[in-house]
Structures are given as C-alpha cells and as structure tokens.
Amino acid sequence: MKKVHLLFKKEDIDQAKIEGKVAVVFDILLATSTITAALHAGAKEVIPVSTKEEAEKETIGREKNSYLLVGEYQGRSLDHFHEPNPMKLKEVVNKKTMILSTTNGTVAINRASLAKHVYIASLLNGKAVANEIIKREKDDTIVLICSGSSGEFCIEDFYGAGSFIASLMRESNDRLILSESAFAAHEFYKNREPKSVILESRVGQMLIDLGFGEEVDFVSQRDIMSVVPRLVDQKRICLTNQEQIIGKEGGSDIVERTNKTVR
C-alpha cells in the first residue's frame, strides 16, 4: 500500500518532511521533459543547478568537449548556453554531461534532493517511471512535486502528475491512498488530452509566443520513452533502468522518428 501526496509548486517543499520519502518532480515545460529527452538521446548524465553561476562553476576541471552548458531564465536562453530545447539537444548531447540551469525545474529537483530517491518525470516517460517506482520502492510514501513557475501553480505539471497517478494505478496491484491534491490531479487528468491542456496553459502560451510551438507539441506526447532518470548523490541525474540505447533501434533515432509525427 502506497501513499501518494502532491505539492502544487516547488515552494511547498518542506525539506525536513521529505526525508525518507520518494519524490517525483514534474516540470513539463520544459525542464523534466528536456532531461528525459537528453538522457534518451545518449547524454551521459545531467547536473541540475539553480543559477547560471552554479552552472559555470560546474565546468571547472572538466574537459572542454565533455559537457554542454544548457539553461534559461524566465523562458529565455542564458548567454553562451544552449537553449533547453529537447529537440535540438538530441543532436549534440550524446555521451556528454549536460549542466542544466532552469528557472523552476532544476530548482525543484535540488530542493527535493533530501528525499530517499528523486525521480524525474514528464509526459514522455511517466509510465516508465511509475513502473520503476512500483518495482523498486515497496511501500514508501510518494510525493509528486509540480515545479510551478516562479511561485505560481502550473496546470501542465498538475496534469502530468495526474497522468502519472493513472499509470501507477494501472501498473500496481497494491492499493494507493491519494491525498486530496493527488486525487484532484487524477480527476483533472481524466478525459483531457495533454496537447490541449498544454497549449492552453500560461507557460505553453508563453513558449509558443517565443517560437517553441514544435517543442510544445513534442513534449505533449505520452509514454514514448522508457528512460527512468533519478538523482544520484544529491547531484547527478542518471538512468536507473540502464536503457540508454543509442543507434539503429533506439536513442536519437527513436526521437527522430517521433519528431516526424508531430511536425
């Protein structure tokens, strides 16, 4: 029997209370979707940081061609950083460490770092993460963390959490005990399509206005990737299920075939 709680935004994280629990972080637009897609495309690992300065500090001592600096603040790419664009990064991220700084998602991951385990979920890989948690985490309490946006609730993260709960319910033989907020997310998820929710969201509209309509379409797809990213040593995001498949049958080729369906 698992208890499932939901936090509406990263500012609701109580680091003392999250210790010993399993955390799942959602930032559908775009941090956790970008992390998922980058690891799927062959990234060695992802280092989540909260500021540009922290990202630059992480490069010290690393070989120049071994990493990528990726980041945004308030939706705009940081100077001299790659934009956190899941469709463009797949071309350059293979076998590299991605050092990622975002306004909300990486901040949420770092705030949750004291949890027993921290998983990274998006619509792209929600089912895979749910399966891994069912298999690995026994009866631990699960805390779903919607990153939100600069202190505000985000409907797309709420929807992503509801989709994740639906996957937990389908895949688990155990009873789930949902908090009121988790129950509300699951109810909201029912009978709604991800693309329409994301397109009508505040952040979705902002990204479309900035020219990221294709990316919004891409991250609206459900369960097209089997990677399960997890925070290791409170610092690095790596794959837990060893499915970093690159080449003809997976990796960037799968992303490419998927991209063709949303253009």
Written as tens digits, the pLDDT of the chain (263 aa) is: 789 999 999 999 999 999 999 999 999 999 999 999 999 999 999 999 999 999 999 999 999 999 999 999 988 899 999 999 999 999 999 999 999 999 999 999 999 999 999 999 999 999 999 999 999 998 889 999 999 998 999 999 999 999 999 999 998 888 899 999 999 999 999 999 999 999 999 999 998 998 889 999 999 999 999 999 999 999 999 998 544 443 333 444 434 333 333 32
The residue among 262, 224, 250, 236 whose CA lies nearest residue 62 is 236
Res 14: pLDDT: 97
Model confidence pTM above 0.85: yes
Res 241: pLDDT: 57
- 81 with 70: CB under 8 angstroms? yes
Q: Where are the beta strands (DSSP E) in the chain?
A: 2-7, 22-26, 45-49, 67-73, 76-77, 97-101, 117-121, 142-146, 176-178, 229-232, 236-239
Res 246: pLDDT: 38
Q: Which residues sit opposite 238 in a β-bridge?
A: 230
Classify domain 2-251 at the CATH topology level: putative 2-phosphosulfolactate phosphatase (3.90.1560)
Q: What is the 3-state secondary structure (H, E, C) of 67-91?
A: EEEEEEECCEECCCCECCCHHHHCC
Res 138: pLDDT: 83
Res 198: pLDDT: 97
The residue among 35, 10, 11 whose CA lies nearest residue 101 is 35
Structure tokens at 167: 């996957």
Return the residue matching tokens 């050092």: 99
Number of alpha carbons in the 13 Å side-chain half-sphere of residue 33: 27
